[in-house]
Each structure stands twice: as structure tokens, then as C-alpha cells.
Structure 1
Amino acid sequence: MNVSRIAVAGGLALSSVALLSGPAFAHVSVQPQGEAAKGGYATVNVKVPNERDNASTVKVEVNFPADHPLASVMPQPVPGWKAVVTKSALAKPLELHGKKITQAVTKVTWTSDGAKIGAGQFQQFPLSLGQLPEDTDQLVLKAVQTYDNNEVVRWIEEPKEGAAEPQNPAPVLKLSAATGDHHGGGAAADDKAGHDDKAAHAEAADSTDTPARVLGVVGILVGVAGVAFGVLAGRRRSA
């Protein structure tokens, strides 16, 4: 009897763990690859997990807010996926680098071109965004996920501060305070990395060059000593 009770309890515990650790808690999200500062540029990843055990994701659509338009949204090529950028006319043109922008990106759609996101997998879709708005702390990027069994999941519910997470929360990109560098942290970081790399190479060259010089001097001294020894030996034989 006790064995049966233990078996039932164990089964319930395993079921609870499976439910808690299942894919229901995974959702489409957006993650910065660097600093997403107001007024700057950023590279972000749209992370799309597959939540179904019997279907694969074949299409992902990310929508950009009309009240905070972005003049530039560039997708990085992802093998096996075709990206299409959709633009719409702006009611109020934007000024960007001295130019008047009359259109903004409203949507990016990735469609399977041979690849799929299978069960227990996720895919990241990199985007370069800019110029980021300065009058908001976040961008809500509503997403739509389509499976190969024609099921559509809409990640469009905006999370509210202090409230429970909605069932299908929309991806949210948090924006930090402006840094003054409107070209974003990525370029500066790359530039710094380049300088650091050059310095490291120079230091490595110096550290390699020093032993070489020492060995060269030692070789010269050994050579001179050999010549002197040969001369002395010759004199002794002559004597």
C-alpha cells in the first residue's frame, strides 16, 4: 500500500516538474547585443523559441510602433530564411542626419526558405535598428509566429509594470539613457577592440623581439669566442 502511494506521489511530482519546465513559459523576445541607448543605434536579436511538439515555426513577423518610428531597420541574413522589410509613409516626416525621412519601417517578416524552427529549438534573427527614439524608455515590438500546421500565435499583449505577465507578452526593447554617441555603443566598442588588438599585437611583437635580440648577441659572442679559440690553437701548434 505504501509502495503504491509513493509511486502515485512520485508520478504527480514528475508531472508537476514537466508542467513547470515545459515550453509554455518560453515566448518571443528581443535581446540587445550591445547598448540600446536613446537616440543611438543598436543591434538586437529577435529570439523565437518553438513551443509546439508537433509543429515547426515557418514564419515570424515583427511589427514596429507607429508612435516611435524607426527610419532604419536592417535584418542580418539568416541561412534558410527570407527577410522582407515593409515601410509605410509617415504622417510627420523625420529629420535624420540633415535629411528628411518620409517613410519608416513598420514590419519585418521572416519566412522559411528551407529552414524551420523545430520542437525544442529556437532561432535568433538579428536586426540593426536606428535611430532609436529619445522620448520613450522602451519599444514594444509586437510579433506573430506561424507554424507549419497553420497555427498562429500573436505575441501582442503589452506587459504592464507591477502586473502579472500576460499569456502572450509582446517583445519589449528597453532603452537606456542617451550616451551622447548617437552612433551607438557597438561602433565605439569595435573601435576600442581594434585599438586593444593592435596594442596586444605590438606588445606581443616586443616580447618576441627582445629574446631574439638577446639570442643574437649571444650568438655573436659565441662566434667571436670560437674565432679567438681557433687562432690560439693555431699558434700553439705552430710553436
Structure 2
Amino acid sequence: MRLLAAILLSLVLAAPASAHVEVRPTVARPGDTVELTFKVPNERADAATTGLELFLPPGVPAKVAPHPGWTSTDRGGGDIAFAPDTPAQAIGPGRAQEFKVTLGPLPKADRIVFKALQTYADGEVVRWIQATGPDDERPAAILDLSGNGAPEGDENGAWPLYLGGVLGLLIVIVGVAVTRRRRSVM
């Protein structure tokens, strides 16, 4: 039973590690013009997110959609800064907001890496800029243009989450069955 509890606890604690600036969809084709949604979660419990700096590919036309309560500033070269109009509009602890940008036509490339800087009310800046592999501590959002992305109908590549949920459920079922069997033997 202790093993079951340890496994469930590790599954629950592993989930927050995936929080980072994300882009959706995660797959597109070169030449397309797409509306991208950048999800910005606040993973801190003690400070609000008060700024986002998003780096789009230079030279690719972009149109930033208005985001209620936030002002966007084009700093040139694909650098877009977002800031809340008032402290009440900041992204509070445990919350997330989505920012929309229409981008395209997309360049002929295997992928686009969207680096982002997330600023918190206490001045901390988290740099979501790593794009070397799945084990990056601070991964950048990546749009796959190679045609090798998630299968059609699974644009978000969520199958690992589903598999984890199924495995977790199986572990609970086995744990309950073992407990009942032990009680019936006694």
C-alpha cells in the first residue's frame, strides 16, 4: 500500500513540472498562416506574472490580437512585449492566460522556436528559451513545421498524459483489489 501511495504521489507531483509557456497548435505547415495561442501559466504561489516578452521569427508577418486588460508593444525584430494595464489584470498564482497571434505565411523550416521571458511582480524573470530536447528545464514553445509532429487529430501531443492517467488508474485498481483480497483472507 505504501508503494501505491508513493507511485500516486510521484504522478501528482510530476504534473507541475510541465508548466511553461506553450503554443497551440503545435504543428503547422510551411506557407500556412495560422492563429497561434500562447498559454502563459503562473506557476508561482507568491507572485503574479506582470509581463511576457515573446520572440517571434523576424521577417514573418504577425498580427497580435488584442488581449483585454493587457497592452502589447512591438519592439521590432519579432520582439513583442505584453504588460497588464493594472495590477489586477496580472496573471495570479495558479492561473493562466492565453495570448493570440496570427503568424504567416510561415517560413520553410523544420520548426519555429518561440523563446519567451516571463516576469513576476517581485522582478524575477523566467527565461523559457531552451530548445535542445525534451528534458530541458526551461523549454521554449516550439511549432513543428516538419510534418513529423503529432498525428492528425492529436495536435497537442497529449498521448503521454492519457497514458499516465490510464497507468495511474490501473495502479489504483490493483491496489484496491490487493487490499480487498488481504481483508477477505483475514
For 2:140, the aligned partner's letter is A
Unpaired runs of 5+ residues, structure 1, are 1-5, 89-105, 178-239
Q: Which residue of 2 aligns with 1:139?
A: 112
Q: Which residue of 2 aligns with 1:167?
A: 137
**Among 66, 85, 88, the residue aligned to 1:113:** 85
Q: Contact between 1:36 and 1:174, CA under 8 Å: does it hold in 2?
A: yes
Q: Which residue of 2 aligns with 1:59?
A: 51
User: How many corresponding residue pairs?
Assistant: 145
1:77 Cα deviation (Å)?
0.6
Query: Is 1:20 aligned to residue 18 of structure 2?
Result: no
What TM-score do you get using the length of structure 1 for normalisation? Answer: 0.54
Residues 135-160 of structure 1, C-alpha deviations (whole Å, 9 max, x = no match): x1210010000011111100001133
What RMSD, in angstroms, separates the aligned Cα atoms of the two structures?
Answer: 2.5
Q: Which has the higher helix share?
A: 1
Q: Contact between 1:82 and 1:113, CA under 8 Å: does it hold in 2?
A: yes
1:24 Cα deviation (Å)?
2.6
**Among 73, 79, 103, the residue aligned to 1:84:** 73
Write out aligned runs for 1:27-46 (5 A).
Answer: 27-32=20-25, 36-46=28-38
Q: Distance in 2 between matches of 1:172 and 1:10?
A: 35
1:86 Cα deviation (Å)?
2.3
Change (3 A) 1:117 1:172: same
Q: Give the SS at the match of 2:75.
A: strand
For 2:13, the aligned partner's letter is L
For 1:19, the aligned partner's letter is L
Q: Distance in 2 between matches of 1:174 and 1:17?
A: 28
Looking at both structures, which has the greater relative contact order when contacts are Cα pairs under 8 Å and sequence separation is at least 6?
Answer: 2
Q: Which residue of 2 aligns with 1:130?
A: 104
Q: Give the SS at the match of 2:24.
A: strand
Q: Contact between 1:61 and 1:109, CA under 8 Å: does it hold in 2?
A: yes
Q: Distance in 1 between matches of 2:130 and 2:31?
A: 26
Q: Contact between 1:145 and 1:152, CA under 8 Å: does it hold in 2?
A: yes
For 1:138, the aligned partner's letter is R
Identity across matched positions, percent = 37
Residues 188-208 of structure 1, C-alpha deviations (whole Å, 9 max, x = no match): xxxxxxxxxxxxxxxxxxxxx
